[in-house]
Amino acid sequence: MKKIKFMDVSFRDGFQSCYGARVKTDDFLPVLEAAVEAGTDNFEIGGGARFQSLYFYCQEDAFDMMDRARKVVGPDINLQTLARGANVVGLVSQSRDIIDLHARMFKKHGITTIRNFDALMDVRNLAYSGQCIHNAGLHHQVVIALMGLPPGLNENYCHTPQFYLDKLKEILDSDIPFDSVAFKDASGTTTPAVVYEAVKGARKMLPEGTVIEFHTHDTAGMGVACNFAAIEAGADIIDLSMAPVSGGTAEVDILTMWHRLRGTDYTLDIDHEKILEVEAMFIDHMDKYYMPPEAKEVNPVIPFSPMPGGALTANTQMMRDNNSLHLFPEVIRNMREVVAKGGFGSSVTPVSQFYFQQAFANTVQGPWKKITESYGKMVLGYFGKTPAEPDPEIVRLASEQLGLEPTTEDVHDINDRNPELGVGYNKQILEKEGLPTTEENIFISATCGAKGIAFLKGEAPLGIRYKADVEADMAKKAKPEASSPPAAATPRSSSGNYTVTVDGRAYNVTVAEGTGAVQSIAPASAAPAAEAPASSGEGVAVEAAMPGTVIAIEVEVGDSVNEGDDVLIIEAMKMESPVKAPKSGKVLSIEVSAGDSVASGDALMYIG
């Protein structure tokens, strides 16, 4: 009987899939220690969104988290992180010196393996980062990034077994140093048949003894079947998770997969009773965190609009923050076209975020009215070559709106020329802010930008969603608002009218008094638009084009502006969008402050 090894991804991808990557270190370290005692010796501990999220939302240092994890598990346990090729652990691609710094810093802070992928499968983006990982003395696990294509897209090569094997051949021919290969399906949309053929073909191509690992999510309900297909095709390791961060958008549970293998020629080498105990402990330690319902759902729409499990919940959490969650189904539907016209890059971070941002923009501003910066740069070639040629009309729109010409130049050469990237530039930022210019701080500045600097200055906000806070907020939103003064006595047959706000939408609810039965639910009428303040005279409102958070106000009351000037910046879905003056004139009033959440159509300021 063949023993199948596994990597426990609970403490990185599990957190990312179920909690938007927002979990405090103190709350999981005891569980990590218990998992080691139960016999698990291979963990994914960081990287991906878990690097930025600690600075953005948790008021914690990712390097400190790595150090503490290594201290807990001891020297012999594999601690692995996830890297995004030229992007390393950020959404923005980096210069060569930052890519090298990434490998050296992660080695310094206790990591033994880095899984390295490029969403576009442009092998050039894997070559330099892979060499840096190897040079730092780390185990380099190179990735073939998988994704299932929706039916009817008239694409017969991209994301087929042959496509993946051709990419593997490119990696082998490029002499990139690697120690193992992972087939990674972040969206969980690849079919078991494709998984089997790809892994089987790779086993024939790779040198004898090369370890093959398989990674998928259960977002589309394919997790167990795809894991088993990979095992039958020759995979040595599969990625699994533990409750409560298993199933749905996360990975298949360790115990579920152990059960699937019973009665076959394969087994997981675990003590299932000990794993049961660790999972019970894990559930208890995570009980304080709010888990959105979509995190544990199998979603039949995902194969048609591939959204990674590790990104889905992070995006819905941000949509909750911006009171735009009601738009999620439409955004997901719009992803299908965005993927097809963007060149079929694998839906894994950062490309999945580019897709989601563009689908979000298409939803709130109209189809292709606004090409988002990252999606536009991707189709223009600034992040590498897409698997297929992007739609020519989208390329034209991106070029016009961004003022950039299409390119085939190596991403590293482009970034090395950028004066706002690199060690030197980020060192200057730290010096300007009066912060220590350690290599760790330089890397934090490079990958986390202004939010990283805010953390280093002790100004980072706490953005964790605790269950108690969410429940209190829901109770506050659902507080009844009587539509008329209460009568002295209410007959049992009478009704009460209430306004309830759910995820940014208001509903009128009629409830039978006495029984509490809901008699009707209807969307509440939109509140009348706020009139311009008296001091603004005949001012023109500057309105928000999309829901989001105000992160910067570029003008003051009394300033003169020209039509088209940037007057304010809104952030939504990790995307900063400038708001432009609709006319020339004087700023009469400003209706918002930095940090405010706004909805589409809200008046932000008035210009007269």
Helix axes 439-456, 423-432, angle to 10 degrees: 40
**Residue 23, exposed/middle/buried by CB under 10 A (0-12, 13-18, 19+)?**
buried
- Give yes or no for residue 595 having a pLDDT over 90: no
Side-chain-facing half-sphere of 540: CA atoms under 13 Å: 12
Contact 272, 281 (CB under 8 A): no
Helix (H, G, I), strand (E, B) or coil at 274: helix
Report the C-alpha gap between 48 and 250 in whole angstroms.
Answer: 14
Q: Looking at this protein, which amino acid is placed at residue 215?
A: H
pLDDT tens-place string over residues 563-594: 989 898 887 766 677 888 999 999 999 999 88
- Give yes or no for residue 598 having a pLDDT over 90: no
Helix axes 124-135, 96-108, angle to 10 degrees: 40
pLDDT at 155: 79
Strands 495-502 and 42-47: unpaired
Side-chain-facing half-sphere of 285: CA atoms under 13 Å: 24
- Give yes or no for residue 528 having a pLDDT over 60: no
Residues in the chain, total: 608
Residue 599's pLDDT band (boundaries 50, 70, 90)?
confident
pLDDT at 538: 62
Residue with the bigger pLDDT between 501 and 417: it is 417
Query: What is the chain's mean pLDDT, rounded?
Result: 89
Apex 41 CA angle, 37 and 44, nearest 5: 115
Report the C-alpha gap between 527 and 467 in whole angstroms.
Answer: 30
Contact 348, 117 (CB under 8 A): yes
pLDDT at 552: 82
Q: What order of strands is seen across the sheet that includes strand 505-512?
A: 495-502, 505-512, 518-523
Residue with the bigger pLDDT between 45 and 90: it is 45
pLDDT at 549: 82
Average pLDDT over residues 86-103: 95
- Give yes or no for residue 546 having a pLDDT over 80: no
Q: Which of 21-35, 500-514, 515-529 has the highest mean predicted lDDT (pLDDT)?
A: 21-35
Q: Looking at this protein, which amino acid is placed at residue 284?
A: D
Report residue 243 CA to chain centroid gap.
Answer: 21
For the ranges 203-207, 229-233, 479-483, the lowest mean pLDDT is seen at: 479-483
Average pLDDT over residues 544-570: 87
pLDDT at 510: 52
DSSP secondary structure code for residue 305 in this structure: S
pLDDT at 508: 52
For the ranges 210-214, 297-301, 408-412, 450-454, the lowest mean pLDDT is seen at: 297-301
pLDDT at 480: 62
Share of the chain above pLDDT 70, in %: 89
pLDDT at 502: 47
pLDDT tens-place string over residues 250-267: 999 999 999 999 999 999
For the ranges 225-239, 422-436, 542-556, the lowest mean pLDDT is seen at: 542-556
Report the C-alpha gap between 313 and 317 in whole angstroms.
Answer: 6
- Give yes or no for residue 323 having a pLDDT over 60: yes
- Give yes or no for residue 380 having a pLDDT over 70: yes
pLDDT tens-place string over residues 158-211: 999 999 999 999 999 999 999 999 999 999 999 999 999 999 999 999 999 999
pLDDT tens-place string over residues 100-139: 999 999 999 999 999 999 999 999 999 999 999 999 999 9
Contact 557, 572 (CB under 8 A): no
